[in-house]
């Protein structure tokens, strides 16, 4: 090696070793996600408005999810699903609140709950802001059972009281979703009572937010339902629609109602299910997520065809 070349190499090394390290937030690991409002600039939004007038608004919750899933499970999973949809077809993803209606989870530390009136009002005003910017169609994505009626009411308020047009995205996607594959749920698993924080939700979380799931903390819940509700479970599992309606009308309600069906009154861990949590897998969560995402994309693309962006 020539003396010059050695000298150059030495200088390059010096340059690298003395380059000042830039101190940025060590906790920040997010990448800019396409069509995700919190990451976008105002010009990005204006550009997107040339391609679409559609917005997905997640309706999540901040509530206990047993000993192994984070308080933010419904918020995080809902937003992640929405982001995945928005990578496949142009639509804005606009999270507005993290908190939902969860009074029946208040017996476990960390849960935050807002009243249904407050929640609807906040989203309604957010939708009015988005309409001012030129958005027209709203896909309300509920990711928490306790927000079901709120989501339906919000959809109706948008349709009845504004120039916007809204649908609930879960319901919309279900019109076009493929039947569940046999690999995502085995025949035996279908017969197990598995609701809040159970195998399904744990599997989705293992796929969507893997490093926030603590499987080593997962614990089998001991359930103590009122006797008449306990006796409904076999029919609920058989898919009896009338029994299911009655079961859910009474189940998971706040302690203050006196129904003895709040999460803390019915479950030792906060999980409302007796499935074996160790059978939850990221693969099952992936299958469910992909099933939803592809159906949601099919629906959105169909709506884009049914009603072109500049339709009057
Ligand atoms: Zn949940």
Of the candidates 298, 222, 219, 234, the residue with the CA atom closest to the CA atom of residue 265: 222
Q: How far is the CA of 20 from the centre of ligand 1 (A)?
A: 45
Give the pLDDT confidence of 170-190 residue by residue, as tens digits.
999 999 988 876 554 554 456
Q: How far is the CA of 144 from the centre of ligand 1 (A)?
A: 6
Give the pLDDT confidence of 52-109 residue by residue, as tens digits.
999 999 999 999 999 999 999 999 999 999 999 999 999 999 999 999 999 999 999 9
Q: How far is the CA of 189 from the centre of ligand 1 (A)?
A: 19
- Percent share of the chain, pLDDT over 90: 87
Q: How far is the CA of 65 from the centre of ligand 1 (A)?
A: 6
Q: How far is the CA of 100 from the centre of ligand 1 (A)?
A: 11
Q: How far is the CA of 76 from the centre of ligand 1 (A)?
A: 10
Average pLDDT over residues 16-23: 68
Question: In sequence order, what are the residues at sequence separation of 6 or more whose Cβ sits closer than 8 angstroms to the Cβ of residue 87?
Answer: 33, 34, 35
Enter the pTM of the model. Answer: 0.90
Can you list the domains of the chain with their CATH numbers?
A: 37-178+285-305 (3.40.50.10310)
Instruction: Kindly report the average pLDDT of the chain as a whole number.
Output: 92
3-state SS string for 7-41: HHHHHHHHHHHHCCCCCCCCCCCCCCCCCEHHHCC
For the chain, how far is it from start to end, CA to CA, in angstroms?
74
Q: How far is the CA of 194 from the centre of ligand 1 (A)?
A: 12
47: left (phi over 0), alpha (psi -120 to 50) or beta: alpha
CA-to-CA distance for 79 and 92, rounded, in angstroms? 12
| The pLDDT value given to residue 179 | 81
Helices H, strands E: what count in the chain?
A: 12, 4
With residues binned 3-state (H G I as helix, E B as strand, rest as coil), the percentages for the chain, rounded to 5, are: 50, 10, 40
Q: How far is the CA of 254 from the centre of ligand 1 (A)?
A: 16
CA-to-CA distance for 58 and 62, rounded, in angstroms? 13
Cα dist from 125 to 45, 157, 166, whole Å: 19, 11, 14
Of the candidates 172, 279, 264, 280, the residue with the CA atom closest to the CA atom of residue 221: 264
Which uninterrupted H or E stretch holds 140? strand 137-142
Q: How far is the CA of 61 from the centre of ligand 1 (A)?
A: 8
Q: How far is the CA of 230 from the centre of ligand 1 (A)?
A: 22
Q: How far is the CA of 202 from the centre of ligand 1 (A)?
A: 9
Q: How far is the CA of 11 from the centre of ligand 1 (A)?
A: 57
Cα dist from 235 to 163, 172, 232, 239, whole Å: 43, 27, 6, 6
| The pLDDT value given to residue 188 | 47
């Amino acid at each position: 090696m020539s003396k010059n070349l050695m000298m150059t190499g030495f200088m390059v090394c010096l340059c690298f070793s003395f380059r000042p390290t830039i101190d940025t937030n060590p906790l920040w690991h997010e990448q800019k996600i396409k069509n995700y409002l919190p990451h976008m600039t105002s010009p990005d939004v204006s550009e997107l408005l040339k391609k679409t007038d559609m917005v997905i608004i997640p309706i999540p919750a901040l509530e206990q999810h047993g000993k192994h899933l984070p308080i933010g499970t419904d918020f995080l999973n809902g937003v992640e699903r929405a982001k995945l949809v928005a990578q496949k077809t142009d639509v804005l993803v606009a999270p507005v609140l993290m908190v939902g209606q969860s009074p029946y989870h208040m017996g476990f530390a960390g849960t935050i709950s807002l009243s249904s009136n407050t929640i609807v009002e906040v989203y309604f005003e957010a939708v009015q802001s988005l309409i001012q910017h030129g958005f027209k169609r709203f896909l309300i994505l509920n990711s928490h059972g306790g927000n079901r009626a709120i989501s339906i009411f919000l959809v109706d308020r948008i349709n009845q009281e504004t120039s916007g047009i809204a649908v609930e995205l879960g319901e919309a996607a279900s019109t076009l979703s493929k039947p569940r594959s046999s690999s995502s749920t085995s025949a035996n698993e279908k017969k197990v009572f598995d609701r809040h924080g159970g195998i399904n939700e744990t599997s989705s979380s293992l796929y969507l937010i893997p490093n926030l799931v603590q499987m080593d903390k997962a614990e089998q819940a001991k359930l103590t339902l009122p006797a008449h509700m306990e006796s409904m479970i076999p029919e609920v599992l058989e898919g009896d629609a009338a029994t299911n309606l009655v079961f859910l009308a009474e189940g998971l309600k706040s302690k203050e109602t006196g129904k003895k069906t709040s999460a803390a009154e019915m479950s030792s861990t906060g999980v409302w299910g007796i499935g074996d949590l160790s059978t939850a897998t990221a693969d099952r969560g992936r299958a469910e997520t992909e099933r939803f995402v592809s159906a949601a994309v099919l629906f959105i693309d169909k709506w884009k065809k049914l009603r072109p962006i500049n339709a009057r």
